[in-house]
Structure 1
Amino acid sequence: MSEANIAPWQRIAQSKKARRDSAIPTDWQLHHGQVPQDRLNVIDVPVKCGILTPCEVEITETDAPVLVKKMINMEYSSYQVIRAFCKRAAIAQQLVNCLSEVFFDKALEAAEKLDAEYRATGLTRGPLHGLPVSLKDCFKIDGTDASIGYTAYADRPTKKDEESEITKIMRESGAILFCKTNVPTGMMAGETYNAIYGYTANPYNRNLSSGGSSGGESALLALRGSPLGVGTDVGGSVRIPASFCGLYCLKPSSGRFPTYGLQDGMQGQEAVRNSVGPMAKSLDGVELWSRAVLTSEPWMHADPDCLPIQYRDVDIPKKLCFGLLLDDGIVKPLAPVSRALLQTKSSLEAAGHTVIQFNIDDPLYTDNLKFALYRSAAADTVKSILAQTKEPWPRGMEMLEAMANKENKGDDSNCPATVTDLWKAQIKRTEYAKHILNSWAATKTRTGTGREMDALLIPCTVWPASEKYKFIYDNYTSLWNVLDYCATTVPVTHASYTDAKPEYEGRSELEAKVWRDYSPEKFAGAPVGIQLVGRRLNEEYLLGVTRACDNALKAAKNISNGCGM
């Protein structure tokens, strides 16, 4: 194709991708053919490829809170730690295409300055002293783009005074920022691909998705290319990737952590509020980040929507009661997900906790309501951004495209919502939230603890990890965004060739498609996580309950491996 025939979006994408790739030093690059394209599981490549030294392997295999302690004790310098993670992130990028912005040189310079300051003063920079932290592409960082997958937003580097508040808080807390991670176009999909960088694969099985919209972050963390990452969630965008890639995460209620200054795919949409949350290989990492951000008191200076709630240390009862929802009534989870839920139930009961059934009445109500809340301006917004560079509509946005083009097919399903429509939807949302509130409170009579259920145990998605371009259902996560409850994820197991494919006829064409596409061999080896949901603004209690659940799973695993007393 001649230069004259290349569309503006193609020129931008080629240039942007080339600059990212050139930021990886030659001696950090895998040899041609070192990892065959048909090798699906690449999770151990960083350790075995020979690019990392033994010390760098040790550093990158260490969890975030331990790394901070070791740097404070001067067992490692921040420079050592940053360099190790920059190298491992470079390897991860070559394996699964997870990075969007690469600024390793600036990170190494920042680490050198921090080390010199610490040697001179003996004072730590903050609770994240010297720690590498990766950010989802939507966080604005000085000198980098926040393109969120749009070619129209590329080549618009952020100025210092435009940085996101989380970016500033990370630096003030002592973190060293070193890369940003890939997202789907406009951050509006449950898997990660865009016209600039292409598809981000799952490192446990490169035929599968790493999730979305924080899919670049989850893939990087799974390969231990970062010890701690930050994503955003307005429909499952932290929880879905965390579940797909075997990670812990926290999706807080809106107002707990600052979102001010993000590059948002639906700027001004407040019917379902966005939230910022941490992702890590350990629950300790999630808690470290949460404490660090709230220690900065972001409601005082960072975000007018932040609530003045300090991090709260809470006492978790020894005996807990979990609600269990195995099926939302719309799409039944596939066999590995159901197995993970039942395995968790068994582990909790073995640890002395109680598990009761919990059901959601009228499940289609929230699925339909979500669309009414989201759709008001999304279609026209996406259309106008794509038009700036003549970028085509991405696959998966056919409904929005039809709406933006006013393709009325005999009903109002493709017509943009009016303000009146939005107000009506918000009334229904509040009515439904009251219904769920009552159902949650009513569990007090069944728990046996004298309290209502401590958390709700449910699937994160219907898949262990979806096949590429086949993510079509998110109600297990988006429901809790509509209701603004907090939620976490816990990795439980892995999909197996031995998982059965039960004879099952879907209750709808959507459900039938999910089950028709399922065969155990497609998903073998993929992580399987579960979701724990807690009451609104109850993040600290939920984290404590999540730890009890995680401990129960680990204890059961030790017993099954013959490690019990």
Structure 2
Amino acid sequence: MSSVFAVIQPVPVAKGTSEYEAHRDNIVREQFTNKVPASLLLPSSVITNPPRDVTAVPRECGLLTQDEIAITETYDATALAAAIRTKKLTSVAVTTAFAKRAIIAHQLSCCLTEWFLDEALEQAHAYDDHLARTGTVVGPLHGVPVSIKEHVQMAGHFSADGMLATRTLDEADSHIVSILRGMGAVFYCKTTQPQAIMHLETVGPYGRTLNPHNINLSAGGSSGGEAALIALRGSVLGVGTDIGGSIRCPAGFCGIYGFKPTAHYMPMQGLSHVGMSPAELTILATCGPMAASLRDMDMFMKGVLQTKPFLKEPSLVPLPWKGSAVESEQTAPVQPLKIGFMMSDGAIQPQPPVVRALEWAKARLSAAGGVEVKPFAPYGTAEAVRNIRKAYWPDGGAGLKAQLEKIGEPVEKLTQWIIQDAEGPPGTWEDIFRMRLERDGFRARFSQHWSEQDVDVVICPVYAGPACAHNTAFDWNYTALWNYVDYPGLVFPTPVKALKKGSKEEQYVSTEVLSEEDARVRKLWDEGDFEGAPVNLQIVARRFHDNELFDAVASIRDVLGLA
């Protein structure tokens, strides 16, 4: 990480050429050193000797007023919109509070790529003036700050694919940013992502993004900056993207809410760059909300889809959003909701805290009644993961390497890990066509398997463990499987946290080793210290059953104590 703006970095990132390091320093100087006032800098003692858990630092550091602490800690986006609409709060006050907290969060976790307070306050003033003048709001997010992942293009700001050679100053908004702007969102920062946007840990040009609950652990990836920022309450609503777990993994690692919709449902124009490998020839990415509450994700989906984005992007499926399912009174279904629990994917046995979270959820739902809880047998995970790892890089990784070589950017450890199965000569059109056929064949078999299991939704892990140690996010099974079959997935917090090393509750129950990957995950568990890491779970539904997924979550929300 560059030394020109101080952030906590317990594990250094790879070093590049002198040209690359100078270029990185210049960017950090431009975006942070020259913009952040001294009044918002944390004491050097916090940076050099930080606590393991930094979540309390923003409220205790003395850089925020009591009103700013209350604004950032006691509201979700839905409540902020209501408070601004009723003039209990102004957008200027809310934007100031979140922008200040965001730059504090960045010093604690390295979660931002850009911070632009002055521009944000201009937006906020305009929204306050509009409300005072007309008595009406411009949309459901009127005056509410929203954070945006780096590669999502925004007019007047930089986007990239996690590599400095792809960094571009954008002249126009991406489709999703344009919609959010129309909904009244205030933009104030952009958030970190990993090299090539293809790790389950966010590490790249700006440094290593840390897990606020335990800085020795990963914040996840690729939307790790969003997750860390929201976990530190520097944001309550942000935009992430997902092609292998990039919304769900960081949401799970950092203990927040995240939703990966079915592909071709949400607007995607303005989210791709020339430097990317053509992975989407086989595996489709999607964008979605990362949030502090379930209802904020519902508001996000409803607001975006009400604009009929398929009229601008004809590749999108014109499936309407029912809207406010998690807020409304639920009518009892004729048949009880059938929830399958996938306790293991058959290839990697979850680590003990994840098993405890699954058992907690299963026990709560079984005791509450009104739903049918049953086991869900895994199907073909190893095959799906093997296929998807090759499909991510049909060019053999050549495009990625070419971008890194332009200015001497180093290859991160996890970059080499994710491309290794696909490295070699670029695939021919016959190879890519075969990948598509294999994918579609697997999807058909998986759908049949789901039907035979007779479930409406499945609850399963987000990852094999809680947040992993830095540079060890090797196994994507529990998220990438659902990208391969293109099923929507929602990640939600549980009260379970990883306990202190040596606790009796943190011992593996089964001694059976399922695979080489399982042996690696067990070894990492034995060697690591995960104390304090939150444990989330994932609930999934069939392809394009996104509405039904939210209905299912609404019906179990109270039982599981979801916000």
Confirm or deny a common fold (TM above 0.5).
yes
Q: CA-to-partner distance for each residue in 1:29-62, whole Å, 9 max, x for gaps?
A: 1122146534110111111111111111111111
User: Where does residue 254 of structure 1 map in the other structure?
Assistant: 263
Alignment of 1:421-460 (within 5 A): 421-444=431-454, 453-460=455-462
User: Where does residue 563 of structure 1 map in the other structure?
Assistant: none
Alignment of 1:227-306 (within 5 A): 227-264=236-273, 265-267=276-278, 269-301=280-312, 303-306=313-316
**Range with greater deviation from structure 2 (126-135 or 515-524):** 515-524
Q: Of residues 483, 490, 494 in structure 1, which corresponds to 2:497?
A: 494
SS at match of 1:377: coil
Q: CA-to-partner distance for each residue in 1:51-83, whole Å, 9 max, x for gaps?
A: 111111111111110100000000001000000
Q: Report how far residue 167 of structure 1 moved.
A: 1.1
**Contact persistence 1:501–1:519 (CA under 8 A):** no
**Contact persistence 1:459–1:530 (CA under 8 A):** yes
Q: Report how far residue 145 of structure 1 moved.
A: 1.1
User: Where does residue 51 of structure 2 map in the other structure?
Assistant: 39
- How far, CA to CA, are the matches of 2:136 and 2:361 in structure 1? 43
**Contact persistence 1:501–1:518 (CA under 8 A):** no
Q: Of residues 303, 327, 330 in structure 1, which corresponds to 2:347?
A: 330
Amino acid at match of 1:547: A
Root-mean-square deviation (CA, aligned residues, Å) is 2.0
- How far, CA to CA, are the matches of 2:507 and 2:408 in structure 1? 44
**Range with greater deviation from structure 2 (471-480 or 377-386):** 377-386
Amino acid at match of 1:112: H
Residue 395 of structure 2 corresponds to residue 384 of structure 1 = no
Q: Report how far residue 253 of structure 1 moved.
A: 0.4
**Contact persistence 1:367–1:475 (CA under 8 A):** yes
Q: Report how far residue 535 of structure 1 moved.
A: 1.0
**Contact persistence 2:243–2:284 (CA under 8 A):** yes
Q: Of residues 186, 201, 206 in structure 1, which corresponds to 2:215?
A: 206
Amino acid at match of 2:365: L
**Contact persistence 1:200–1:216 (CA under 8 A):** yes
Query: Percent identical across equivalent pairs?
Result: 33
- How far, CA to CA, are the matches of 1:115 and 1:51 in structure 2? 25
Q: Of residues 467, 472, 475 in structure 2, which corresponds to 1:473?
A: 475
Residue 321 of structure 2 corresponds to residue 311 of structure 1 = yes
User: Where does residue 197 of structure 1 map in the other structure?
Assistant: 206
Q: CA-to-partner distance for each residue in 1:155-186, whole Å, 9 max, x for gaps?
A: x3111xx3211111111110001100000011
- How far, CA to CA, are the matches of 1:400 and 1:486 in structure 2? 23
- How far, CA to CA, are the matches of 1:168 and 1:419 in structure 2? 35
- How far, CA to CA, are the matches of 2:556 and 2:258 in structure 1? 14
Q: Report how far residue 317 of structure 1 moved.
A: 4.2
**1:189–1:6 CA distance, 2 compared to 1 (3 A):** closer
- How far, CA to CA, are the matches of 1:279 and 1:395 in structure 2? 27
Q: Report how far residue 222 of structure 1 moved.
A: 0.3
- How far, CA to CA, are the matches of 1:49 and 1:402 in structure 2? 44
Amino acid at match of 2:507: K
- How far, CA to CA, are the matches of 1:321 and 1:93 in structure 2? 42
Amino acid at match of 2:560: L
Runs of 4+ in 1 over 4 A off after TM superposition: 313-318, 399-404
SS at match of 2:549: helix
- How far, CA to CA, are the matches of 1:100 and 1:305 in structure 2? 30
User: Where does residue 16 of structure 1 map in the other structure?
Assistant: 27
- How far, CA to CA, are the matches of 2:129 and 2:346 in structure 1? 58
SS at match of 2:540: strand
- How far, CA to CA, are the matches of 1:111 and 1:395 in structure 2? 41
**Contact persistence 1:316–1:541 (CA under 8 A):** no
User: Where does residue 409 of structure 1 map in the other structure?
Assistant: none
User: Where does residue 187 of structure 2 map in the other structure?
Assistant: 177
Amino acid at match of 1:120: R
SS at match of 2:137: coil
Amino acid at match of 2:145: P
- How far, CA to CA, are the matches of 1:88 and 1:347 in structure 2? 36
Alignment of 1:105-124 (within 5 A): 105-124=118-137
Q: Of residues 226, 235, 243 in structure 2, which corresponds to 1:226?
A: 235
Residue 561 of structure 2 corresponds to residue 554 of structure 1 = yes
- How far, CA to CA, are the matches of 2:244 and 2:524 in structure 1? 24
User: Where does residue 486 of structure 2 map in the other structure?
Assistant: 484
- How far, CA to CA, are the matches of 1:474 and 1:34 in structure 2? 33
User: Where does residue 99 of structure 1 map in the other structure?
Assistant: 112
**Contact persistence 2:199–2:418 (CA under 8 A):** no
SS at match of 1:376: coil
Residue 545 of structure 2 corresponds to residue 529 of structure 1 = no
Amino acid at match of 1:272: I
User: Where does residue 417 of structure 1 map in the other structure?
Assistant: 427
**Range with greater deviation from structure 2 (109-118 or 388-397):** 388-397
**Contact persistence 1:377–1:416 (CA under 8 A):** yes
Amino acid at match of 2:213: Y
**Contact persistence 2:32–2:114 (CA under 8 A):** no
Q: CA-to-partner distance for each residue in 1:82-134, whole Å, 9 max, x for gaps?
A: 00000110110010110011111100111011111111111211111111000
Residue 550 of structure 2 corresponds to residue 543 of structure 1 = yes
**1:14–1:487 CA distance, 2 compared to 1 (3 A):** same
User: Where does residue 143 of structure 2 map in the other structure?
Assistant: 130
Amino acid at match of 2:473: F
Query: What is the TM-score with the length of structure 1 in the denominator?
Result: 0.90
**1:316–1:524 CA distance, 2 compared to 1 (3 A):** farther
**1:64–1:440 CA distance, 2 compared to 1 (3 A):** same
Amino acid at match of 2:170: T
**Contact persistence 1:311–1:540 (CA under 8 A):** yes
- How far, CA to CA, are the matches of 2:69 and 2:221 in structure 1? 28
Amino acid at match of 1:512: A
**1:268–1:516 CA distance, 2 compared to 1 (3 A):** closer
Q: Report how far residue 454 of structure 1 moved.
A: 2.1
- How far, CA to CA, are the matches of 1:26 and 1:383 in structure 2? 39
**Range with greater deviation from structure 2 (46-55 or 492-501):** 492-501
User: Where does residue 95 of structure 2 map in the other structure?
Assistant: 82
**1:34–1:379 CA distance, 2 compared to 1 (3 A):** closer
**1:100–1:91 CA distance, 2 compared to 1 (3 A):** same
**Contact persistence 1:9–1:152 (CA under 8 A):** no
Q: Report how far residue 390 of structure 1 moved.
A: 2.0
SS at match of 2:340: strand
- How far, CA to CA, are the matches of 1:295 and 1:429 in structure 2? 31
SS at match of 2:536: strand
SS at match of 1:530: strand
Residue 171 of structure 2 corresponds to residue 146 of structure 1 = no
Q: Of residues 356, 381, 404 in structure 2, which corresponds to 1:339?
A: 356
- How far, CA to CA, are the matches of 1:98 and 1:400 in structure 2? 22
**1:240–1:18 CA distance, 2 compared to 1 (3 A):** same
List gaps (5 residues or longer) in structure 1.
407-413, 445-452, 558-565
SS at match of 2:460: strand
Q: CA-to-partner distance for each residue in 1:406-425, whole Å, 9 max, x for gaps?
A: 7xxxxxxx443322122112
Amino acid at match of 2:27: K
Q: Of residues 30, 54, 63 in structure 1, which corresponds to 2:42?
A: 30
User: Where does residue 517 of structure 2 map in the other structure?
Assistant: 510
Alignment of 1:46-85 (within 5 A): 46-61=58-73, 62-85=75-98
- How far, CA to CA, are the matches of 1:470 and 1:552 in structure 2? 34
